[in-house]
Homo-oligomer: A and B are copies of this chain.
Amino acid sequence: MSDSEAPYPTIIKGASFLLAWRLEGKKVLLIGGGLVASGRLYYLLEAGAHVTVISPRKRLHPETAYRIDVSNTEDIIYEDRDYVGPEDDKLNVADYDMVLTAIDEVGLSRRVCIACREARVPVNVADVPPECDFYFGSQLRRGPLQIMVSTSGRGPKIASLIRKQIEASLPEDVEEAIDSVGKLRGELRQRAPGTGGSLGQKRMNWMIGICDAWRLDELGGMTPEVRKQLLDEGWNNNGKILSPRDVGLKSGVAGWWMDIRTKVVDTLAGGDPQVLRAGIAGFIVGGAIPGAIYIGMLYQKRK
């Protein structure tokens, strides 16, 4: 490599490898049933895993107990007893796709970890980082959208603070935006069918262009008529990318004003108070200047 000098971002080690693991229909062993286990169980069930929970009923967190009671036996198999260890013939860790422990017995957890690593089964031992093949982060889900915030173990609370801030900053109709893009892509494929090759590339570039030209909140408000317009007057017109302005959704000053109005409404409905404050401060300062000049003039006149 002589023709360029560090043209790419430098590697800074120390990151985790963030993944969206697929657990639909997978077998997961969850050892423990307390508070930590109840959180794990929630996310496992949302991911469609078939979970075996082992913990004496008297130590179950109310949420774990509730999940066990309302689930069918395909989603949760419950063993009302203490886990004795990897030598448990009935619960061989090698039979599972993932094992999570959330118990206080450090020695027992360590034995589970060793058995899992021998059997090449991904394992997480709550609160014992060296015995974890993976960590959890603070998560949020809005329909098809999932976001995870990880601070590499620097504190779950601050990860959750950042997650909350992200949650508050997401456009209210972010699910609709994802949905609109999905529908537009489907309609585009109907109009220009076929896989791969230059057509596939052209379709992809057009979709990327649309996503670049439309803000998230604008995508969310995309009606079927607008999608049709984008395809009729855009795609059919040499793959032109039409913006919200082009389809008459907003223009010049009107669009500018719409942005502010949307933001003020969002703010009054619990959005970013900084914007409202900036507006009020601008109003006061803007009003104060001619007001002061006028008062000054009145004062001079009296003298």
A147 and B146 contacting across the interface, CB-CB below 8 Å: no
B21 and A17 contacting across the interface, CB-CB below 8 Å: yes
What's the minimum C-beta distance from A197 to chain B, rounded to whole angstroms? Answer: 12
* A134 and B66 contact, Cβ closer than 8 Å, known pairs A13-B48, A289-B287: no
Give Cα A18 to B40, complex, Å.
11
* A259 and B282 contact, Cβ closer than 8 Å, known pairs A133-B22, A144-B151: no
**Interface flag for A122 (CB, 8 Å):** yes
What's the minimum C-beta distance from A268 to chain B, rounded to whole angstroms? Answer: 12
B157 and A211 contacting across the interface, CB-CB below 8 Å: yes
The stretch from A4-12, A83-91, A239-247 touching chain B is A4-12
Q: Which residues of A from 243 to 258 have beta carbons under 8 Å from B?
A: 256
As for how many copies of this chain the complex holds, the number is 2
A16 and B146 contacting across the interface, CB-CB below 8 Å: yes
B286 and A282 contacting across the interface, CB-CB below 8 Å: yes
* A12 and B46 contact, Cβ closer than 8 Å, known pairs A18-B19, A216-B162: yes
Q: A36 contacts which chain B residues (CB < 8 A)?
A: none
Give Cα A219 to B281, complex, Å.
25
**Nearest neighbor of A10 in chain B, beta-carbon distance:** B70
Please, what's the 1-or-0 string for A37-50, where 1 marks a CB less than 8 Å from any CB in chain B? 00000111111110
Q: A62 contacts which chain B residues (CB < 8 A)?
A: 4, 7
**Interface flag for A237 (CB, 8 Å):** no
Q: List 10 A-B contacts (CB under 8 A).
A: A1-B69, A11-B75, A14-B46, A14-B48, A17-B20, A19-B20, A144-B152, A162-B170, A283-B285, A283-B286
